Structure 1
Amino acid sequence: MVLKPNYYTVSLALAITAMAASLGIYSSKLFSKSETITLASNSDLTTQSFSTFKSHSVWVYALAFYPDGKTLVSGSYDGTIKIWNLHSGKLLRTFKAHTDAIESLAISPDGNILASSSWDNRIKLWNLQTGTLISTLAGHTDDVKAIAISPNGKLLASGSTDKTIRLWDLNTGKQLSAFEDEDWVRSVAFSPQGITLASGNESGSIKIWQLPSRKVLHVLAGHSGRVRSLAFSSDGQTLASGSADKTIKLWHITNGRTLCSVVGHSAEVLSVDFSSDQQTLASSSYDKTIKLWHVPTGELLNNLTEHSKPVWSVAFSPQGKTLASGSGDETIKLWRIPIAKQPLSSTLSICSNSVNRY
């Protein structure tokens, strides 16, 4: 995937003036009270959620879709897991999974196993057909911040504030290996091919590990704050990272170089995810917003503002047409994500100097 270079640096005022002139719209119509740029010509873009789930009584920290995209799993601050039918909106099952907050969820490619991780230092594997506990993976000595399941469904990776990354056999629950980081591990993600693992830490460093050798292929430096979330594009060529420094960065995996640094959130970026067609990147933040970005250009497509508290997690359905968001306002919202005819604005992204970087 290639990012379109941005050869110019323009001020927000000049960009808006030019855009307004070309559309025949006065600039005052381009701003809402919250100073979010909105263009009536982009009527195909959804700005309102089509469904809201209310059952959690505390912050919703983690989300995961079933492979068929018809069912959603949510995990919350009180250690509770809920399973939802997205078509009917019906709550199918609720169970107390952990003794502390659930930080991360992952579902196996066959849809049979749910993995959950928690502040209680544990990873648990659940039978999704029955809701029963399969096994508890003990090994980490501190909060398990992130988990991911490999594309072939054989491995589970976990990252913890004990400064280790661990690999587990998903079928047996046996720990296969552990490797150390210099700081708390905040995020992990397998490449779609399953041959590399990305990890992000508290210091803002990202490592690309070769599997199964555990050799570090690249150290991606650029963030000035902890890396809260990582996501690979479906072709495995691009990695997105969201950080406490309020930025999202796109990285070229082959050479480890920065493709684009996207600026738009006013607080820590908590979660990022690619749509399946690689055209849209969703990001959520402590600033209570979700932003949708056009991946080829890094331009802002839409700003979703319905949540009243930080949005801890966003996840695209496997088909890429639905985005789910979980928030500190105790709700889960579903959004339809259409294909944009044109980007909303290019002024809130910084993709300059991306020429000849890959």
Structure 2
Amino acid sequence: MLKIQVNKLHSLTGHNDCIYALTEGPDPRFFYTGSGDGMVVEWDLDNPRDGKLMAKVGHSVYALEIDKERNLLFIGHNFEGIHVIDLENSKELWSLKMTDQSIFDIKAIGNELYVGTGDGIIHIIDIEQRAVKKHIKISKKSVRILAIDPSRRQLAAGLSDHSIKIINLADHSPIYSLDAHNNSVFGLAYAPNKPMLVSGGRDAYMNIWDTEKYYLQESIVAHMFAINYISFREDGKYYVTCSMDKSIKVWDAETHRLLKVIDKARYAGHGTSINKVLWSTYNQSIVSISDDRTISIWQVEL
């Protein structure tokens, strides 16, 4: 664990409330954040000091998603629906009032947008038609996190009912329902190069699933409090978790051994809950966002 070098490159400010949403742009040099103040901001990893305001909405933003093919940014506007920004012109193209619930996550694949909401529904939107094509009620509790396995054409949904639902993207039929955690499932990430899904929950456990048959390979007490998010490095060799315990942890994807802890005491990390992490495909830095209203950019040498 001692051989890994960690350097805090930047601490960015500008949001006036907790930062909840984080996504990488079609050009991975840029990333986007959304917060409780309704602001959505674009940041440049080559010149991160000055953020660019992309949108200001009336309620909290918990979810952001990118459509790389169309160069679009989808904003989940709590209680109002989604807003769609054309990134080339930095203008809103269209919006859709499709829920009066909290929007916890959004994922795009092909011509479809999947929106998970607080009433246990996944809304499927036709991006070209700019219209809802289907609603799938999968739980009485909130859909908290979505993850897509493009190779198998499957969608995983982590729920506040402690389960993970696996859905076939071809016909939207259910495939598996996993008794996953002892509390809400907040983190889900498919490995980019192997049949593996990693989940994290409010119970502080991290579970490793084999996605051939979706059986549980390993369960690890990974943090002191809730695991909020999981992100793989592009090559699939490592992944990071972040937690309500104010720490970021780096893991070996083969052995699931803990390699590094990044926190306030060791590296002047965040002072409150870390809500999301992103392992940049642009320069392999790690971006983290927090309830402390700051964004941190970390250089981790593995």
Conserved in 1, the CA contact under 8 Å of 2:78 and 2:100? no
- The CA distance in 1 between the partners of 2:176 and 2:20, in whole Å, is 29
Cα distance change of structure 1 residues 266 and 206 upon mapping to structure 2, 3 Å threshold: same
Match of 2:133 among 168, 176, 192: 176
Letter in 2 for 1:228: F
Answering whether residue 71 of structure 2 is matched by residue 112 of structure 1, we say yes
Match of 2:156 among 179, 188, 198: 198
- The CA distance in 2 between the partners of 1:190 and 1:223, in whole Å, is 20
Q: Deviations over 1:19-39 (max 9, x none)?
A: xxxxxxxxxxxxxxxxxxx63
Answering whether residue 207 of structure 2 is matched by residue 266 of structure 1, we say no
Number of aligned residues: 296
Cα distance change of structure 1 residues 281 and 56 upon mapping to structure 2, 3 Å threshold: same
Answering whether residue 174 of structure 2 is matched by residue 216 of structure 1, we say yes
Q: Deviations over 1:113-169 (max 9, x none)?
A: 00111322411111112221111122223111111111x4x2111111121101112
- The CA distance in 2 between the partners of 1:325 and 1:171, in whole Å, is 32
Letter in 2 for 1:263: V
Conserved in 2, the CA contact under 8 Å of 1:233 and 1:274? yes
- The CA distance in 1 between the partners of 2:126 and 2:151, in whole Å, is 17
- 2:39 — aligned with what? 80
- The unaligned stretches of length 5 or more in structure 1 are 1-37, 340-358
Answering whether residue 210 of structure 2 is matched by residue 252 of structure 1, we say yes
Match of 1:142 among 101, 116, 119: 101
Deviation, structure 1 residue 49: 1.5
- The CA distance in 1 between the partners of 2:79 and 2:54, in whole Å, is 16
- 1:46 — aligned with what? 5
- 2:296 — aligned with what? 333
- 1:312 — aligned with what? 275
Conserved in 2, the CA contact under 8 Å of 1:293 and 1:299? yes
Relative to structure 2, which stretch is displaced further, 102-111 or 91-100? Answer: 91-100
Q: Deviations over 1:35-93 (max 9, x none)?
A: xxx63xx1xx2333112211112111111111332111111111101111111124252
- 2:117 — aligned with what? 160
Secondary structure, counterpart of 1:106 in structure 2: strand
Q: How does 1:276-287 map to 2 (within 5 A)?
A: 276-287=234-245
Secondary structure, counterpart of 2:5 in structure 1: coil
- The CA distance in 2 between the partners of 1:163 and 1:132, in whole Å, is 31
Letter in 2 for 1:245: D
Deviation, structure 1 residue 288: 0.6
- The CA distance in 2 between the partners of 1:248 and 1:97, in whole Å, is 35
Determine which structure has more spread, i.e. the larger CA radius of gyration: 1
Letter in 2 for 1:190: I
- 2:266 — aligned with what? none
Cα distance change of structure 1 residues 307 and 122 upon mapping to structure 2, 3 Å threshold: same
Q: How does 1:4-19 map to 2 (within 5 A)?
A: none
The two structures have a TM-score, normalised by structure 1, of 0.79
Cα distance change of structure 1 residues 297 and 320 upon mapping to structure 2, 3 Å threshold: farther
- The unaligned stretches of length 5 or more in structure 2 are 264-268
Relative to structure 2, which stretch is displaced further, 93-102 or 73-82? Answer: 93-102
Relative to structure 2, which stretch is displaced further, 199-208 or 330-339? Answer: 330-339
- The CA distance in 1 between the partners of 2:72 and 2:209, in whole Å, is 30
The two structures have a TM-score, normalised by structure 2, of 0.93
Q: Deviations over 1:287-312 (max 9, x none)?
A: 11111111111110111111111101
Percentage identity across aligned positions?
24
- The CA distance in 1 between the partners of 2:121 and 2:210, in whole Å, is 25
User: Greater strand share, 1 or 2?
Assistant: 2
